[in-house]
């Protein structure tokens, strides 16, 4: 399982726990990271640049430390 996928799953848990608008949050994350969050799968390659962008965006948008 890729680290990006694990981070995506934690973001989805946070969205559900905080009862947030999933489409809006994932859209903001996608704009910040340059990735379509819905397309991240367990087989998505872990690129250090993508991981750093995802962590930064999750912290900024959700105040979530990954």
Which pLDDT tens digit goes with each residue over 10-55? 999 999 999 999 999 999 999 999 999 999 999 999 999 999 999 9
What are the backbone angles phi and psi of residue 45, rounded to the nearest 5°? -65, 140
> What are the residue boundaries of the structural domains of the chain, listed by start?
3-62
pTM above 0.95? no
| CB contact set of 57 (below 8 Å; sequence gap of 6+) | 28, 29, 32, 33
């Amino acid at each position: 399982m890729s680290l990006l996928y694990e981070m995506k799953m934690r973001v989805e848990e946070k969205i559900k726990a905080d009862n947030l608008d999933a489409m809006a949050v994932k859209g903001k994350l996608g704009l910040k990271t340059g990735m379509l969050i819905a397309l991240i799968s367990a087989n998505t390659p872990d690129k250090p640049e993508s991981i750093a962008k995802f962590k930064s965006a999750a912290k900024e948008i959700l105040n979530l430390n990954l």
